[in-house]
Structure 1
Amino acid sequence: MQKLKLLPALIGATLVLAVVLVVAFHFIFLDLFVDLWWFQSLKLEGYFWLRLLYKYFLSGGVTLAFFVIFFFHFWVASSYLGLNPREEVINSFTKNQRFQRFADAFMYGSAKIYTPIALILAIFIAIPFYNQWEQSLLYFFGSPSGVKESVYGNDVSFYMLSYPVYSLIQQELLITATLIFFMVGILYWLEHIFVPDQSREFHLGAKIHLTILMIFVVIFVVWGFLLQRFGLLYTDSHEPIFYGPGVVEIRYQLPLIWLGIASFLATAVTASLYIFSDKHRIKTPLFISSALFVGILVLPQIDFIPDTIQEFIVDPNPVRAEKPFIQHNIDATLNAYDLNNIKTVDLSIKLNAAPDIEKWSTQERFENIPVWDREFLLNSYQQLQGIRPYYNFLSVDEDQYSILNHVRQVNLAAREINIAKLPSEAQNWENAHLRYTHGYGAVATPAAQDAANPLVWYLRDLNMHSDVGFNVKHPDIYYGEGKYDYAIVPNNLKIMGISGTQPVAADSYHGKGGIPIPSYFRKALLAFYLQDKNIFFSTNVSTQSKVKIIRNIKKRIGKLTPFLHLDKDPYLVITQDRFYWIQDAYTLSKYYPVSKPTNDSFFPAIKKFNYIRNSVKIVVDAFDGDVDYYISDPSDSLIQAYSNAYPGLFKNLQEMPEELRKHLRYPRDLYYLQMEIFAKYHQQSPELFYEQAETWTLANVNKKDVLPYYQTVNFGNCNNKEEFVLINPMTPINRNNLSMIGAAGVQDQSTCSAAYKPGITVYKFSKDVQVNGPAQVEALINQSPEISAQFTLWGQYGSTVEMGRMIILPMGNSILYVQPVYLTSTKTKIPELSRVIVSIGNEVVMDTTLWSAFKRLKQTYLKDAAESIGPGTSRAIVEPTSK
């Protein structure tokens, strides 16, 4: 009968245990197994275990340390130190053993209470460390950068690697010490009143214990004051003028912090004497020190004093008063955003462009001017080269290749798989995961082409046809930018004519990537993990098959190295063996001292940051999925700390294959951010910075910013070697004339070698001659009756006229503007490059080719070389159209 009563409880316990085991298996052990297999497939098993070790060792170690701290103090407090009864009370209790039973229960029985309490408190205190374990890792493996900030003279790596950890530890230790002090104090008080007829004074041991705890509280409070000094370096009270501390912070708030430390120590000493010593229990010192400490705490909250300092000392002489602090902000910001080595070239512009046209009017100069915008090309690629409904082009990349013994700028795009475009009846499990598993090949076209002609192809079609020597041995693309589901290859299906041009059986996958499925056990686990029973029951999945998961390159990199922040635009590289993706990655920090934080949401994980380095170049094999990390900026202390923590993960840039290294480029996102900062911080003297008379902004055309774009340019450097650079024009704020043209490249200008050495050159224009900006050139185009009439004529033929990106290039002592004109059919929606507009000075020419347009400009300028063309005078030459 008793067994029958226990049966429901036994069944319930069994069910609960089964549920716990299933949940634990699915969310802990299964994920762990699959992650391990995935890291093994990437040959990064050691990194996987090391990362787990760091995470759980740090988290577990911190929890254990706080548990020991809580447990130790509770144990001490329960060991009679608070009991101080009279001798006769002890004797009375001892005779009937009541006191002994009480003592035993208090000493040993209370452990059942304070042990779980200590564990719960330890977990609660350690939670912030769980979330910031990687920041703690940087602290242990970091090293000095060699760069010192100018306010306190500390190495900047202290602020990026150590300061956040110190702040976290100080806060948690202060909370811990305060909790223990009050909880132990309450425990002693309860002990003191629990036993009757106790002495008025606490036991000496209790006094010593509480005094030690108070000393720890004092130490952690003082440490907080010391760290508060560094917090002054991140004040934004002086914005928008400058960022960082000023006169008020350094001359008023900093001394208050030191006074706060002194007054708090005095308060702690007098309070200890008052509480624990009858002989020294004097109220006056305690009252004075406490009042002083409270007053110092309250003073920073009162705006009267800092407002008075600001009004009567700073505001009458702002530059003189704040000069050193403005300089601190300028120096720190330029260094934090890697802008302190920008090369500035003063470029004088001449009104007469005839000599420059004569010198530059050679056919080679026009072979790499990118008149095809990648935004317009994407639709053309899709309609002309998609070929199959399940192929898709997601983005167009720019690069340069040696073609026919000459470096040419090209546009290219990967033909990726997109089974969402298949008919609904074909969207089944077998098609999605066994048959339509990958993209195939790519397309490439020259960036510079003649207008009114069909699109020229360097690489095209599913047979990878190329007239210029492109030849790819493994053109399959299993990893890319698309939203990929898992794929199982090779498999037992005989796939007919999906990738090739003939309806024959496709070759089985013969790469190395993916998680092997050598047994039914692993097959079952993968089916359970991917929540798809077909994996287990399908006879087309063999022991030779491999499961490819996490095939989107950004997600793939993000799972491997979540501490790196990725550029928005990975780009494709064509090699003789296969396709690769190159992804720029950044290390960020919001703790660089006195550096202005950016307001752009480039990286959602860190909304505001004030330090960035393009420290890593990541190469992803589009065929196998291998991921290789190369350090591109060894001077970055953050990436050096990660490299020390994870030995073998990061390689030197020199180890990158030459075929890939020559395609490295300056990242677009980084350059845009740097120029946004440099637009203000190029004014490097405090006086100019305060005046803001030369602040720049992005050039504007057609109510849109001219964003940085890639251009292959010959600046006359390194034996006239062409460079693949990012171009960025800027105008004065609230003005339309051009102030500068920035060029960011990776060519080593000092040695002219192929070594990777990123740098920025700013071509700055003198103020004596106005240089037309994009908006002013746009006005010249719109004012031309001939061009306007041509646009109107095209519109009557059912086409939409669209203006492409305006290309701006320095050309000797002149500025060349090139803008493509596209006609988009209302039926096919395929854009056609119809004309190019070229402008120098106030002359505007529209023609079918750059060469012919330049010849017309040359004729015009040579004819009028002796004349001075005043501002606002424009002439337009338009090639006649037959339409």
Structure 2
Amino acid sequence: MVGFAAVIRIPRNRLSRARRRVIIITAAIVVAIIVVLGLLSTFYTEVLWFDETGYQMVFWRSVATRVELGFAFGVLFAALMPLNLWIVRKITNPARMFSVPDQILERYRATLQPFMKWGVIIAAIVFGLFAGSGATVKWQQYLLFRHPSKFGSVDPIFHKDLGFYVFKLPFERFVFTWAFSSLVIITLIAAAGHYFMGGIRPQQRGERVAPEVRAHLSVLLGLIVLLKAWGYRLDQFNLLYSQRGVVTGASYTDVHAQLPALKLLMIIAIVISVLFFVNARFKNWLLPIGGIGLLILTSIVAGGIWPAAVQRLSVTPNERIKESPYIKRNIDATRTAFDLQDTRVIPYSGLADLKASDVQANQATIQNVRLWDPAVLINQYVSLQRIKQYYEFFGTADVDRYHFASGERQVMIAAREIYPAGLSQGAQTWLNTHLVYTHGYGVVASRVDRVTGEGQADFIIQNIPPKSTDGGPAITEPRIYYGEQQQTNFVVVDTKQQELDYPSGTSYTAYTYDGTGGIKLSNFFKRLAFAWRFKDVNLLISSAITPDSRIMFRRTITDRVQRVLPFISLDGDPYIAVVDGRLQWIVDGYTTTSMYPYSQRINFNSTSNTLVGGSGNYIRNSVKVTVDAKNGTVTAYAWDPTDPILQSWMKVFPDIFKPKSAMSPALLQHVRYPEGLFSLQTDRYSTYHITDPGDFYAKEDAWSVANDPTASANNLGSQPPVPPYYVLMKLPDSSGLDFALVRPFTPNNRQNMTAYMVAHSDPADYGQLVTYRFPNSDALFGPQQIQGRINQDPLVSQQISLWNQQNSKVTYGNLLVIPMAGSLLYVQPLYLTGQGATFPELKRVVAVSGGDVKMGDTLTQALGAIFGTAPPSAIEGTAPNGKSVKDLIADAVAADQRAQDDLRNGDFAAYGRDIAAMRKALDDAAKAAGATPSPSPSPS
């Protein structure tokens, strides 16, 4: 029985091993099938998505280019490696005598010999895959290399069109790096192969390297050195981005020392490569090895020591003179690269006395003074217009302009988007989040200059369904399936389960999607592919989904646009506009590069949180993109067709960009200059407004963007710069209203105002940059100084102290700088969040002109207090008590003076009475002048 058991036990062990082998193989097959199906489902659904968006060309061209690059570079490496190993095997002499260590190696060789063929094949495939995958990520560089455009100007050293550096040089640099590293790896593998096969015997006396091996390695080393010569040539071009000097670009030392050294090294490398090739015939290492030594010595002396000596002994003691020509090149290149070269500079006094007649002459500007900050206003939108917890307003309110019967007015607007996370936990079912709560509804909008009597926004579009009042644009299609933030990765529409359209009392109005967005789930395979992609079996088994149902994914605006335009950098702040009754998202697109010769590089996101990260030294707002909020239709416009980078992409993808002329007039009036780009340009202009190289070197007139006095200090204890803000005003050199971005400058390390930069946004002069240059005078106060005066004003400080005592939170609005009649008017709103309140309300407006700081409930009151009179058109009005507006303003001024005396005397009771009298007089004056509409009074 023992023997029988033993006989039985052996087959069981074998069976166990066989079972384990079957299980392992089966598991491997299952894993492979899962991986392959995942890849296929992703690829198939990507094809469907690009078909839906209409950008199939982008998808197929990018895929084909990646395959082309991966195949070419991968196959090349996979062929070169076994070819050289075949040469190793071919030239091996099996009859050679081996020493004792070689005999040990021979035993290893004998053991591995049966696996050599397949081992080499597998290694070649693996190395080839790595080599090819590294090339696929360069598909954009390759397409630009194949489709270059000319910039129309040449660099000052090599006299090549700048297009060579932007389109050709990056890919050439990649090819060199890939070829050099690949050849080094292959040479090391070949040398290891020769050692393994006995061709290299370092421990043997006499001939340690076989002649055939020496010839093989000489050819490989010669190719490496020849590639290095090409690298020295590319290094010469890279001098145009050198950081050695005062600024970016080839400096005095680069041109007079480093460039000659690189040329010499290139020649020496070519000669040495020839010596290696010759050595393949004569098999003598002396000359090529000596040449390598010469190359290293020359690199150290001519490429390192000599340039350092020139820099230290010749340039540093005379840097301003020596570097001036090269600084000038950097100035010109940087101004051009950041589109600053055509900036107009207009002298502006800023010190004139502003009169009531000037204010009256600029009533259109006064009526558009922005009294609402986007970050403050969005809190009111959320509190007053969110309506239901499953809606949300993301980000801040966007600034735009619309036409009203009274003219063009600045407006703030925000989209009411769907927010399924706001549902109760029990309501967050698969059906609700993917089939019912599918879309947002409408927008909320208000004029920037108006406020209700309660200090709240005066809505021109509000509620659900959206209601437009006071001339606000009418909305005919309010549904928002595509927005700034979409919390659900996909939704399915046009199903048997109707969607929630909008709330109605305790119930809701149902809706079935009737648009063109999304991909039809018309067959089982599509449902299976999407179920696999999203790992959601409900897509496959839900009875609510029909062949007419559509699946929508990539519903976040920036993600959607970036997928169809992967070669365009996008602004991170899309904004919504009402265009012919429909809701359209507008996104700014940029073409950028870091290869513009002599231009100063900068981290884009260091100047604005809306610019995509990364660095560069050239940027153009060359593309405008719209996305329909209901259908997700992406339309790209070639906004700046003169940009060479965009021209190249239009060669690659000739049918995806529409001309700017194809924009409808209704859409064109909502195009605006992007804040992110203007932030970048003003940062550059603060230094690069200086065009004289000597002055630039000395930084005698360097500026800074003015610090924001209302912002909290950062970790370093300094305040951030004033953000760009949109204005609708009559600019000093204009005859009508201009919609523009503005930003003030101060001298470095000083607080007085030195300049005020404007970027026009209206279609007629879009992109025109104008700098209003103030005289060099400490009398022209900057934002921080004005804020200090506001804080020190007795009336303002007393009011804020009173609010603080009531446990209310005071928020200072943006301090607006408004050029007017040769002077500067400063306006700042004050917001109050009462104890227990959920949002701030606008309670006061401060105006500053010259030496006067005045505060009122409205801007009209504040201006009236400054000038001691109302604007001329309002003087003739009378109050119910029979007093004229002029008399009431005089009463207010007198009460203000009494209040100042009371404050100095410490009589706070009298101070409170006189302040109340001043406000009543101003209120009566405003009512008599008709400046405060009822029931929604306006601060202007």
For Structure 1 versus Structure 2, the TM-score category normalised by the shorter chain is 0.7 to 0.9
Contact 1:462/1:501 (CA < 8 Å) preserved in 2?
A: no
Other-structure match for 1:350:
351
Other-structure match for 2:482:
479
Report the residue type matching 1:772 in the other structure: F
2:54 paired with 1:54: no
SS of the residue 1:666 aligns to = coil
Other-structure match for 1:806:
815
Q: Quickly say closer, same or farther: Cα 1:334–1:157, change in 2 above 3 A.
A: same
Contact 1:452/1:848 (CA < 8 Å) preserved in 2?
A: no
- State the Cα distance separating 1:640 from its structure 2 match: 2.4
- Partner Cα separation in structure 2 for residue 209 and residue 42 of structure 1: 55
- Partner Cα separation in structure 2 for residue 8 and residue 450 of structure 1: 78
Other-structure match for 2:257:
252
Other-structure match for 1:376:
376
Q: Quickly say closer, same or farther: Cα 1:545–1:274, change in 2 above 3 A.
A: closer
Alignment of 1:426-445 (within 5 A): 426-445=427-446
- Partner Cα separation in structure 2 for residue 407 and residue 535 of structure 1: 49
Other-structure match for 1:739:
754
Contact 2:350/2:819 (CA < 8 Å) preserved in 1?
A: no
Contact 2:594/2:615 (CA < 8 Å) preserved in 1?
A: yes
Contact 2:418/2:486 (CA < 8 Å) preserved in 1?
A: no
After superposing the two structures, state which structure 1 stretch, 575-584 or 69-78, moved more: 69-78
1:150-170 CA-to-partner distances (Å, cap 9, x unmatched) read 233222222222212111111
Alignment of 1:654-669 (within 5 A): 654-669=661-676
- State the Cα distance separating 1:856 from its structure 2 match: 3.8
* One of 758, 770, 779 as aligned partner of 2:788: 779
SS of the residue 1:713 aligns to = strand
Report the residue type matching 2:157 in the other structure: V
- Partner Cα separation in structure 1 for residue 818 and residue 226 of structure 2: 62
Other-structure match for 2:723:
707
1:617-656 CA-to-partner distances (Å, cap 9, x unmatched) read 1111110111111122223332222222223222222222
- State the Cα distance separating 1:714 from its structure 2 match: 1.6
Other-structure match for 1:820:
829
2:288 paired with 1:294: no
* One of 159, 162, 174 as aligned partner of 2:180: 174
- State the Cα distance separating 1:709 from its structure 2 match: 0.4
Other-structure match for 2:515:
511
SS of the residue 1:705 aligns to = coil
- Partner Cα separation in structure 1 for residue 453 and residue 750 of structure 2: 35
Contact 2:741/2:761 (CA < 8 Å) preserved in 1?
A: no
Report the residue type matching 1:58 in the other structure: L
Q: Quickly say closer, same or farther: Cα 1:508–1:271, change in 2 above 3 A.
A: closer
- Partner Cα separation in structure 2 for residue 451 and residue 475 of structure 1: 26
1:49-88 CA-to-partner distances (Å, cap 9, x unmatched) read 22221222221222123333334444455556x66999xx
SS of the residue 2:768 aligns to = strand
* One of 245, 248, 251 as aligned partner of 1:243: 248
Q: Tell me the TM-score normalized by structure 1.
A: 0.87
- State the Cα distance separating 1:185 from its structure 2 match: 6.1
Other-structure match for 1:327:
328
Contact 2:261/2:303 (CA < 8 Å) preserved in 1?
A: no
Other-structure match for 2:79:
68
Q: Quickly say closer, same or farther: Cα 1:836–1:200, change in 2 above 3 A.
A: closer
2:769 paired with 1:763: no
SS of the residue 1:316 aligns to = helix
- State the Cα distance separating 1:597 from its structure 2 match: 1.5
- Partner Cα separation in structure 2 for residue 237 and residue 166 of structure 1: 23
* One of 610, 618, 630 as aligned partner of 2:617: 610
Alignment of 1:354-753 (within 5 A): 354=355, 357-358=357-358, 360-394=360-394, 395-404=396-405, 406-449=407-450, 452=453, 454-467=456-469, 468-485=471-488, 486-494=490-498, 498-500=502-504, 503=507, 505-601=509-605, 607-700=614-707, 701-702=709-710, 703-715=719-731, 720-747=735-762
- Partner Cα separation in structure 2 for residue 234 and residue 167 of structure 1: 14
- Partner Cα separation in structure 1 for residue 848 and residue 515 of structure 2: 52
- Partner Cα separation in structure 1 for residue 83 and residue 293 of structure 2: 35
SS of the residue 2:837 aligns to = coil
- Partner Cα separation in structure 1 for residue 431 and residue 208 of structure 2: 82
Q: Tell me the TM-score normalized by structure 2.
A: 0.82
SS of the residue 2:369 aligns to = coil
- Partner Cα separation in structure 2 for residue 465 and residue 271 of structure 1: 83
- State the Cα distance separating 1:429 from its structure 2 match: 1.5
- State the Cα distance separating 1:678 from its structure 2 match: 1.0
Residue ranges of structure 1 left out of the alignment (5+ in a row):
90-105, 748-753, 864-874
2:156 paired with 1:150: yes
Report the residue type matching 1:410 in the other structure: V
Contact 1:361/1:855 (CA < 8 Å) preserved in 2?
A: no
- Partner Cα separation in structure 1 for residue 33 and residue 584 of structure 2: 42
SS of the residue 1:678 aligns to = helix
- State the Cα distance separating 1:206 from its structure 2 match: 7.7
- Partner Cα separation in structure 2 for residue 663 and residue 496 of structure 1: 30
* One of 236, 259, 268 as aligned partner of 1:263: 268
SS of the residue 1:845 aligns to = strand
1:648-667 CA-to-partner distances (Å, cap 9, x unmatched) read 22222222222212211111
Other-structure match for 2:230:
223
After superposing the two structures, state which structure 1 stretch, 780-789 or 32-41, moved more: 780-789
Contact 2:225/2:272 (CA < 8 Å) preserved in 1?
A: no
Q: Quickly say closer, same or farther: Cα 1:497–1:301, change in 2 above 3 A.
A: closer
- Partner Cα separation in structure 2 for residue 699 and residue 182 of structure 1: 58
Alignment of 1:85-234 (within 5 A): 112=118, 114-181=120-187, 183-184=189-190, 212-234=219-241
Other-structure match for 1:94:
none
Residue ranges of structure 2 left out of the alignment (5+ in a row):
1-10, 98-111, 711-718, 872-885, 887-898, 901-913, 924-940
- State the Cα distance separating 1:208 from its structure 2 match: 7.2
2:282 paired with 1:314: no
RMSD between aligned alpha carbons? 3.5
- State the Cα distance separating 1:688 from its structure 2 match: 0.8
State the identity as a percent.
28
Report the residue type matching 2:564 in the other structure: L
- State the Cα distance separating 1:296 from its structure 2 match: 1.3
SS of the residue 1:34 aligns to = helix
- Partner Cα separation in structure 1 for residue 812 and residue 115 of structure 2: 84
- State the Cα distance separating 1:611 from its structure 2 match: 1.8
Contact 2:386/2:416 (CA < 8 Å) preserved in 1?
A: yes
Q: Quickly say closer, same or farther: Cα 1:15–1:271, change in 2 above 3 A.
A: closer
Q: Quickly say closer, same or farther: Cα 1:810–1:150, change in 2 above 3 A.
A: farther
Q: Quickly say closer, same or farther: Cα 1:580–1:604, change in 2 above 3 A.
A: closer
Contact 1:450/1:848 (CA < 8 Å) preserved in 2?
A: no
SS of the residue 2:334 aligns to = helix
Report the residue type matching 2:565 in the other structure: T
Report the residue type matching 2:80 in the other structure: I
Q: Quickly say closer, same or farther: Cα 1:830–1:124, change in 2 above 3 A.
A: closer
- Partner Cα separation in structure 1 for residue 222 and residue 369 of structure 2: 71
Q: Quickly say closer, same or farther: Cα 1:410–1:302, change in 2 above 3 A.
A: same
Q: How many residues align?
A: 835
Other-structure match for 2:857:
848
